[in-house]
């Protein structure tokens, strides 16, 4: 079937379904490049049908049925790889009815909104990093942000009606755990929309109530799974679950209790959720927390004769989405992937004793501190093979050592502006 698809000889309907299935298989096996290529083929099929003035009723029916699935799958790819696959924006641009009558439709709508929010966040961040600050462009982005917030409010109204007595209340399992899952995703989307223009990590501190809400909803969903009558907790869910919102909370919420609770819940959640592997992401989240607390050794930098932190923007410009939202996950706005040839080997890195030079990094144990200053917060992060394809999907078993690339905001003493400083940490999952 793959050869038929590649040679454009497969029946369009079978080709579409096969592309979706193979996309999931490749992502779960860790081959991001193949998964993105297959998903792109599925997108092009759907978009070509949508552009046609008249298509067969059977094809129209297949397109109608598959479009929501492609939107949800695109959201999963966007969240877990930090990439907006070619054609996804066009698929998302199709207007959807703000009213929905099923939990599946509600899920598609909130994931579509999440994808659009992530795309706007990345575009704005990369534009600013390249030194473009046109007022007309910022106005257009502000209009988009307002539109996303309006759509979120409409989703809230429709979802409230869906749960009401007048709608069709869903009280039995599995519906009772789907509701808190969607509410957790909704809270994540709300935060991303609100901070899409921000360049500092401290902006997340304003959304502590939303982070607590994510943890509460996720706990309810996990508890509902554990309390099932058959006592068999799910190990795999094809659709989105609480994993991404919990990971988002663990790395972006700097309240020690909330982020640790999110981390614990992430380890209790279904092990594989769509394309999201909870245990690997929990390990990454814990590593990021330890970096921010200053309790990680072995951090490295590029050797002086190689690329420096000022090259991060250049690397963004050379990035191709075909290999690209990183394994840096939900809301990694300035983390466009470096091209494969820019990924350093361990031999090209030199270990540093302390990446923090401020007074905060000295004194009492970091574990006792309740506040993490901006310069200690991990802003962006990606995972690469030590020498080879970038990025890698965090599969449950890594055959090769990997490198965590992360960056912090550092103040420039000359102009006072914040600049991203790049660091690397070898890892083994």
135 and 214 part of one domain: yes
Which structural domain range is residue 137 located in?
96-274
In a domain, 292, yes or no: no
**DSSP result, 235-269:** SEESS--SHHHHHHHHHH---HHHHHHHHHHHHHS
In a domain, 290, yes or no: no
Regarding whether 108 and 83 lie in a shared domain, the answer is: no
340 and 383, same domain (yes or no): yes
Please indicate, yes or no, if residue 156 is contained in any of the structural domains.
yes
Query: CA 6, CA 15: separation in Å to the nearest integer?
Result: 10
Instruction: Tell me the average confidence (pLDDT) per consecutive run of 10 residues in the chain, 429 residues long.
Output: 58 83 80 82 87 74 85 86 81 78 90 93 83 77 95 95 70 72 97 94 97 97 71 64 95 96 94 82 94 91 61 43 41 38 73 66 51 91 67 46 87 74 85
Q: Of 21, 54, 89, which one is at a domain's C-terminal end?
A: 89
In a domain, 134, yes or no: yes
Say what the pLDDT of residue 128 is.
Answer: 79
d(CA 148, CA 311): 33
Residue 143 is predicted with a pLDDT of 95
CA distance 177 to 107: 13
Helix (H), strand (E), coil (C) string for 160-178? HHHHCCCCCCCCCCCHHHH
* 313 lies in the same domain as 184: no
Model pTM?
Answer: 0.82
pLDDT the model gives residue 357: 56
pLDDT of 9: 59
Sign of the dihedral through C-alpha 267, 271, 276, 281: positive
Same domain, 244 and 340: no
> ∠ CA 84-70-389 to the nearest 5 degrees?
40
**How many domains does one find in the chain?**
3
Report the pLDDT value the prediction gives residue 322, as an integer from 0 to 100.
Answer: 33
What pLDDT, on the 0 to 100 scale, is given for residue 201? 95
User: Pick from 274, 290, 319: which residue ends a domain?
Assistant: 274
- Same domain for 64 and 147? no
Which of 32, 66, 89 is the C-terminal boundary of a domain? 89
The sheet carrying 349-351 orders its strands as: 349-351, 300-302, 418-427, 402-411, 378-385
């Amino acid at each position: 079937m793959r050869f038929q698809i590649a040679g454009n000889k497969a029946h369009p309907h079978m080709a579409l379904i096969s592309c979706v299935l193979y996309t999931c298989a490749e992502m779960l096996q860790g081959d991001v490049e193949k998964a993105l290529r297959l998903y792109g083929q599925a997108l092009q099929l759907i978009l070509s049908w949508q552009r046609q003035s008249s298509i067969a009723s059977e094809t129209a029916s297949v397109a109608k049925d598959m479009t929501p699935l492609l939107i949800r799958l695109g959201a999963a790819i966007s969240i877990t790889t930090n990439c907006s696959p070619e054609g996804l924006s066009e698929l998302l641009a199709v207007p959807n009815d703000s009213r929905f009558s099923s939990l599946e439709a509600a899920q598609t709508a909130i994931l579509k909104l999440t994808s659009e929010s992530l795309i706007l966040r990345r575009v704005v961040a990369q534009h600013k990093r390249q030194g473009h600050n046109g007022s007309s462009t910022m106005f257009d982005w502000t209009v988009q942000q307002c539109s996303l917030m309006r759509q979120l409010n409409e989703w809230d109204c429709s979802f409230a009606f869906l749960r009401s007595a007048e709608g069709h209340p869903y009280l039995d399992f599995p519906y009772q755990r789907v509701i808190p899952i969607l509410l957790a995703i909704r809270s994540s989307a709300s935060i991303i929309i609100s901070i899409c223009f921000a360049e500092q990590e401290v902006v997340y501190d304003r959304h502590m109530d939303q982070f607590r809400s994510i943890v509460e909803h996720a706990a309810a969903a996990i508890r509902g799974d554990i309390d099932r009558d058959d006592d068999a907790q799910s190990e795999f869910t094809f659709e989105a679950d609480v994993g991404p919102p919990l990971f988002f909370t663990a790395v972006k919420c700097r309240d020690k209790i909330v982020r640790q609770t999110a981390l614990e819940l992430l380890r209790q959640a279904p092990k594989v959720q769509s394309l999201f592997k909870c245990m690997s992401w929990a390990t990454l989240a814990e590593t990021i927390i330890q970096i921010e607390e200053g309790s990680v050794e072995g951090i490295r930098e590029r050797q002086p004769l190689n690329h420096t932190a000022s090259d991060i923007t250049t690397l963004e410009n050379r990035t191709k989405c075909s290999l690209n939202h990183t394994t840096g996950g939900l809301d990694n706005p300035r983390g466009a992937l470096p091209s494969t040839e820019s990924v350093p080997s361990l031999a090209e890195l030199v270990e540093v004793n302390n990446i923090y030079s401020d007074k905060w990094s000295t004194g009492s144990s970091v574990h006792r501190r309740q506040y993490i200053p901006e310069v200690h917060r991990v802003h962006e992060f990606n995972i690469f093979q030590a020498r080879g394809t970038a990025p890698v999907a965090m599969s449950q078993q890594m055959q090769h050592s990997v490198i965590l690339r992360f960056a912090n905001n550092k103040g420039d003493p000359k102009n006072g502006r914040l600049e991203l400083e790049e660091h690397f940490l070898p890892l083994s999952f």
